[in-house]
Amino acid sequence: MKIIFILFIWLTTLGFAQGQNQYQVLYEQGLKQEKTSMLVLGSWATANIIGAFTMGRGENENNYFWQMNGYWNSVNLAIAGVGYWAAQRSSTKSQGLEVLLSNIKLEKSFLFNTALDLAYITGGLYMKEVGKNNVKERARLTGFGNSLIAQGSFLFVFDVINYAIAANRTSKIKSNLQLQTFNGTGLTISYTF
């Protein structure tokens, strides 16, 4: 009987450790996604800032387009730097619920950003429309508007792709972690191995 009990404890511990390891792998995938996405955003920003320095001089529509790209991507570069730094400093998570909540937070941030991206595109379209009726500022408004449309479009694609990756990972985590609540007073967590 002792042997069966010891075997049961050993198998339970082994299964629990494998489950924990699986969550750690999924969490590390999330961190890798954060780092990679921040490198992509930083590269995009750097290319646009270089373009702004080389193409942004003058007073025509194209120059204003590049000037706004430079302004916009200075912010993007700062966001990418802080985002990468935060992902580097992130503490290790191996508990299923902790990993799930962390990934849902990442997923929601990308989803929220897609809404902002659509607002940027809309703002760019509005600036172009206002520029049609403003002869004095037409070049500036049209150039800035085109820049907002371009930046918003890139960010929209960027955020949708990252949202889809994070949502897929959330599904994997949820398939291994089942949450059940009872009358709002308790929470049980069951691991699937």
Its domain, for residue 83, covers 2-191
The helix or strand, by DSSP H or E, that contains position 190, with its residue range, turns out to be strand 186-191
Q: pLDDT at position 39, please? A: 96
- Concatenating the DSSP letter of every residue in 17-69 gives HHHHHHHHHHHHHHHHHHHHHHHHHHHHHHHHHHHHHHH--SSSHHHHHHHHH
Percent of the chain exceeding pLDDT 90 equals 58
Average pLDDT for 96-100: 80
Q: pLDDT at position 36, please? A: 94
CA 62 to chain centre: 30
| Cβ atoms < 10 Å from Cβ of 51 | 15
- pLDDT band of residue 4 (cuts 50, 70, 90) is low
Query: What are the tokens at 60?
Result: 């025509």
What is the tens place of the pLDDT at every residue in 9-39?
Answer: 444 444 444 445 777 888 888 889 999 999 9
Average pLDDT for 141-161: 97
Map residue 184 onto helix, strand or coil.
Answer: coil
57 in the Ramachandran plot: left (φ > 0), alpha (ψ -120 to 50) or beta? beta
- State the total domains in the chain: 1
pLDDT at 187 over 60: no
pLDDT at 118 over 70: yes
pLDDT at 192 over 60: no
Contact yes or no for 68/147 (Cβ under 8 A): yes
For 1, which DSSP code?
-
What's the pTM value of the predicted model, to 2 decimals? 0.78
Residue 90 or 107, more confident: 107
